[in-house]
Amino acid sequence: MESFEKRYDGLAVEREMQDFWREEKIYKFSPDASRQVYSIDTPPPTVNGKLHIGHIFSYTQAEMVARYKRMQGFNVFYPFGFDDNGLPSERLVEKENDIKAKELPRSEFCQKCVDTTQKYEAEFRELWQSMGFSCDWELQYSTVSRDVQALSQKSFIELARAGRAYMKESPVLWCTECQTSIAQAELEAKDVPSAFHYIPFTGETGTIEIATTRPELLYGVVCVFVNPEDERYKSFVGKDVRVPLYDFPVPVIADERAAIDKGTGAVMCATYGDTTDVEWVEDYKLPYKKVMLPDGRIAEDVPFIGGLYHKKARKEIVRLLEEKGLLLKLEPITHTVSVHERCGTSVEIIPSRQWYIDILSMKDELLAAGDKVNWYPAFMKNRYTTWVENLKWDWCISRQRYFGVPFPVWYCAKCGKPHYANMEDLPVNPLEQEYHGVCDCGCSEFIPEQAVLDTWATSSITPQINRHTAEKYGIDGDFLPMSMRTQAHEIIRTWAFYTIAKSLYHTGDIPWKDVMVCGFVLAKPGEKISKSKGNAKLTPQALVEAYSADVIRYWAAGARLGTDTFFDQQEMQDASRRTITKLWNSSKFVLSHLQDFDPNYIPALSLPIDRWLIERTNQTVQEAAKQLDQYEIGLARKLIDDLFWKDLCDNYIEIAKERLYQPDIHGEEERKSAQAAIYYCLLTILKMYAIYVPHLTEYIYQKGFRELVGEKSIHLTTWPKVQKLNPEILEFGEQVKEAVSLMRKYKSENDLSMRAEIDKFVVAGSKKYDEWFRASTKDLTACSHADEIVFELK
């Protein structure tokens, strides 16, 4: 048993323990038929800049589950990946290099993306390692690697050949800033200041006043809709009105989707102002009039505002309406608009040829799959269900960007028919490789697809990526569904939803059995910490250097699963360091009394208070495991804290301390009984705390327990298997604690030192425990410094 330093140096110990784990390959995944695999689908962090404390919060909670399952005897398959392709990475490269992707040759820009993402991936990995993450880095993957590109392209080809992926020219959600199509799941609602512009549409039976927030789309108006129950406009239905300023006629049609109580109750349908416009154009076979271009400018042939960007175009149209007396009223409002989550730009709807995956026809299957998955916490399932029920668009998977997984598609130059790569040739890049073949129409010339796959189209197959890795270890048939997916609640509508959809198509089953949904870290009420907001005061790397990884980990385990938490550096420092210091000092004390302890020796005498401590430890093991099986990291930690602070430190050690120090007074067998109790309790506490503060617990284990236990790392030990508890010894212990608490209260209220002598110590309790109480007389005398112990047992 090694000696302990006076003070615990967290940073030095953490580096030492990480080196030990790496050298000894403590977390290396190895196939073992005797142990059940527990597989974790970890979110590959998006490589779009620095990580912040919010990432540490959620990723650390999941890492604690990996440690817990390993110490329950599972063979933990815990890979890490990096989502390093697509728009987020492109925007990072553009920002860091002060360039625009469209201004460079595609190959040159993509190489800059590769260089930049590799740099950040190295930083991410170094951070996770400094946090003591117990993953096997040989299982690492990246979403732009050749293996993953091949899997992603294979997924697309399988869906396309099955008719589940299809291409069509249709209105699509479009970001004019990123200049790419986007999916419904990439929208965020944002309240912005706007205005209702009241303008007259005049017809032969009078004037319809319309309130619009998009006057720049007047040239694209193709119809006016009114509610069939609205008496004000019944005489207009079936007739034409003329569009102000442009003076061309459009029909008036009655449709119940026109809300009587919104604006004036009459709505102009323009191509395209919103999704209702899209529905109306399709339902009534209305014409399309081009107004908005992909770059956010107005089409050149639009009178008055052609060539202007849409915000300037709106101002110019409003000016012209005012000048001609056509702006009847301007009413400021706060308007909810859909913005692109990546850049915050208001989303437009424009016609474009895109690739889609059919999800609208699968709503029932998707809802049933959501029922089959175990959601933790359970209420998070409602977010998934609500999302599926309110889907309006199929999943658009093509992006007009540069750095991503290429579509393995070429089009016939004559008839446009798509032709797919051979599976054995994947991955392919049609821009660099030719298609060799002849189309059904006889043409042998082909045009490569230039778009890339949506990032989610690749990250949604992480279970299949992990299965591909597992197959290299001889694990195949029963790998899917995986055991658990961990993720934040904001991406239920994207990562969870898309992964379930892809899994149903490719395997016919759910992708994982459990979903562990973590909360956010908030900088202030309602504002999550994020890279884009720049509201994290210190980087995770700086926090680790300032406080140590275990301090941060302990804090990260303080919240209930799925709930958001505020980040307070002082609170993190105080609570975490207090426990870490106490665990260090208590371990030094306990181990100083185990120098001559033989773990294989069973004392002939076991005092009741010792049996209580062992049983109380077993109770905590059982209750903490129950919480951890529900992924309640914080609730389990609270139970372990209570055992450590209240039962071991505040009560048992104070009660049994003299027996450890003075066997000549209390007896050698009595001392050995106490040794057995504190050995079992502290070792078990260290095992339970090991998932939270792995460096400290490993260091204490190496110094004081490795020689006694025999296993080379505490993280390769297992928790005790508790079968049945003894409720009577537990109740006895609580009565002893209550008596000691009242004694301490008496001394405190009378300004007496805890070591002050008192005449008598009255101990109340149950008469059925009379023998146990009397067997504890010496301990009670020692901890109370009383001349007499009086038992009042009923």
Look up residue 655 and give its amino acid: I
Ordered alpha helix ranges (H), 71-141? 87-97, 106-130
Decide which of 534 and 590 is more confident: 590
pLDDT band of residue 5 (cuts 50, 70, 90) is: confident
Four-residue CA torsion sign, 760, 764, 767, 769: negative
* Cα separation, 404 vs 188, whole angstroms: 23
**Residue 769 per-residue DSSP state:** G
With tokens 């790496």, the residue in question is 22
Work out the number of other CB atoms within 10 angstroms of the CB of residue 375. Answer: 21
Q: For residue 783, which phi and psi values (nearest 5 degrees)?
A: -80, -20
Q: What percent of the chain is modeled with pLDDT above 70?
A: 98
Going from the C-alpha of 264 to that of each of 258, 407, 783, the distances in angstroms are: 10, 47, 81
Judge whether residue 530 has pLDDT over 70: no
DSSP string, 533-595: TT--SS-HHHHHHHH-HHHHHHHHTSS-TT--EE--HHHHHHHHHHHHHHHHHHHHHHHHT-T
Instruction: State the pLDDT at residue 538.
Output: 76
Residues contacting 420, CB < 8 A, separation 6+: 157, 160, 161, 408, 409
pTM: 0.88
**What does the pLDDT read at residue 532?**
52
Rounded average pLDDT over 557-586 = 90
Q: Judge whether residue 575 has pLDDT over 90.
A: no
CA 442/CA 293 separation, integer angstroms: 35
The whole-number pLDDT of residue 698 equals 98
Six token digits for residue 124 = 């991410």
CA-closest candidate to residue 140, choices 596, 425, 465, 371? 465
Q: What is the pLDDT of residue 427?
A: 97
Q: What is the DSSP string of 265-303?
A: SEEEEETTSSHHHHHHHHHTTPPP---B-TTSBBPTTST
- What pLDDT score does 603 carry? 85
The answer to which of 417-421, 487-491, 688-692 has the lowest mean pLDDT is 487-491
CA–CA gap between residue 706 and residue 689 (Å, rounded): 16
Quote the pLDDT of residue 207: 96
What pLDDT does residue 703 have?
94
> How many C-beta atoms surround the C-beta of residue 470 within 10 A?
21
- Whole-number Å distance between alpha carbons of 617 and 624: 10
**Other Cβ atoms within 10 Å of 712 Cβ, number:** 14
The confidence band for 187, taking pLDDT boundaries of 50, 70 and 90, is confident
Average pLDDT over residues 758-776: 96
CA-to-CA separations, 284 to 280, 281, 392, 753, in angstroms, rounded = 6, 6, 18, 88
Q: Pseudo-torsion of CA 33, 35, 39, 40, nearest 10°? A: -150
pLDDT-based confidence at residue 59 (cuts at 50, 70, 90): very high
pLDDT band at 52, cuts 50/70/90?
confident
pLDDT tens column, 237-293: 999 999 999 999 999 999 999 999 988 999 999 999 999 999 999 999 999 999 999
- The Cβ of residue 219 has, within 10 Å, a number of other Cβ atoms equal to 24
pLDDT band at residue 533 under the 50/70/90 scheme: low
Tens-digit pLDDT profile for residues 661-689: 999 999 999 999 999 999 999 999 999 99
| Structure token pair of residue 714 | 């505490």
Rounded average pLDDT over 145-151: 96
d(CA 683, CA 644): 11
According to DSSP, the residues that pair with 376 across neighbouring strands are 516
- The answer to whether the peptide bond before residue 272 is cis (omega within 30 degrees of 0) is yes
Structure-derived torsion over alpha carbons of residues 585, 587, 588, 590, reported in degrees to the nearest 10: 120
Evaluate if residue 431 carries a pLDDT over 90. yes
Pairing of strands 527-528, 521-524: antiparallel
Using the predicted structure, report yes or no on whether residue 48 has a pLDDT greater than 90. no
Q: Which of 708, 693, 694, 718 lies closest to 590 in space, CA to CA?
A: 708
pLDDT of residue 4: 81
Residue 579 scores a pLDDT above 60: yes
Tell me the backbone φ, ψ of residue 394, rounded to 5 degrees.
-70, 165
Is the separation of the CB atoms in 247 and 186 below 8 Å?
A: no
Strand, coil or helix: what is 596? Answer: coil
| For residue 54, pLDDT beyond 60 | yes
CA–CA separation, 586 and 104 (whole Å): 62
pLDDT, position 525: 54
Specify the pLDDT at position 589: 96
pLDDT for the residue numbered 184? 85
Q: Has residue 785 got a pLDDT over 50?
A: yes
Angle, helices 668-689/633-642, rounded to nearest 10 degrees? 160
CB-based contact 559:634 (threshold 8 Å): yes
pLDDT at 535: 45
Residue of 590 and 529 predicted with greater confidence: 590
* pLDDT tens digits, 442-456: 999 999 999 999 999
DSSP string, 314-383: HHHHHHHHHHTT---EEEEEEEEEEEETTT-PBPEEEEEEEEEE--GGGHHHHHHHHHHSEEESGGGHHH
C-beta of residue 202 within 8 angstroms of C-beta of residue 216: no
Q: What letters, b where the CB count within 10 A reaches 16 and e where it falls short, cover 408-419?
A: bbbbbeeeeebb
- Evaluate if residue 94 carries a pLDDT over 60: yes
How confident is the model at residue 380, as a pLDDT? 97
